[in-house]
Amino acid sequence: MSKILVDTIDTRSGTSNITIGSSNASQITLKSGATLTNFPANTPAFYAYGTNNQQIPNTTYTKVVFVSEFYDTDSAFDTSTYRFTVPSGKAGNYLFTYNIRTEAAFEDEERLIVKIYKNGSAYEYGTSETRSSKSSMNMQKALSVTMNLVAGDYVEVYSYHDEGANVQYEQGNCFFSGCRLIT
């Protein structure tokens, strides 16, 4: 095996790509503990949770509040407006996921609808519903969606139900998360 010792590898004048290995190369091995730098990351990324015992009125689309965060790499989720806003220079494809679960039992063919809004308009939604008058269950809806966003676009979660009275969301079972995808 041959060894090349250098401090810097750079392209020749007029070129912009460096190729390591030939078309036969299938693996590049780094020394154990080596660190690679300057690679793109799936950021911004956030995970918001905690609905603060929010009461959701019957038959009204209502913004879901998420008052706490596990992480927020770019401070892009605002816990006072409950929305994620794409930071400057961070346009791209994003993956968002949410989970909403009620404390109330639904029955008699009632529905829980949860929508992701982009810039104030419904973008995607998911529905859970009871199928017969004999069923009674806590409703839950989870959804993942990808969106192409530019700086300044914002994303929020709204919900709707027709249970007949206000419902409260389970504190520990509601979250909203997202990250920019490396493309």
Residue among 101, 147, 151, 91 nearest 122 (CA): 147
Does residue 171 sit in helix, strand or coil?
helix
Query: What total of structural domains would you count in the chain?
Result: 1
Kindly tell me if the per-residue pLDDT of 156 is higher than 60.
yes
Round to whole Å and give the CA distance between 105 and 94: 33
Is 129 a member of any domain? yes
Phi and psi, residue 115, nearest 5°: -125, 145
Residue 43 confidence class, pLDDT cut points 50, 70, 90: very high
Is 39 a member of any domain? no
Is 161 a member of any domain? yes
Is 29 a member of any domain? no
Is 10 a member of any domain? no
Residue 140 confidence class, pLDDT cut points 50, 70, 90: low
Round to whole Å and give the CA distance between 93 and 74: 16
Contact 69, 77 (CB under 8 A): yes
Residue 137 confidence class, pLDDT cut points 50, 70, 90: very low
Kindly tell me if the per-residue pLDDT of 138 is higher than 60.
no
Is 149 a member of any domain? yes
Which residue range forms the structural domain that includes residue 136?
45-180
Mean pLDDT of the chain: 82
For residue 70, give the CATH number of its domain. Answer: 2.60.120.40
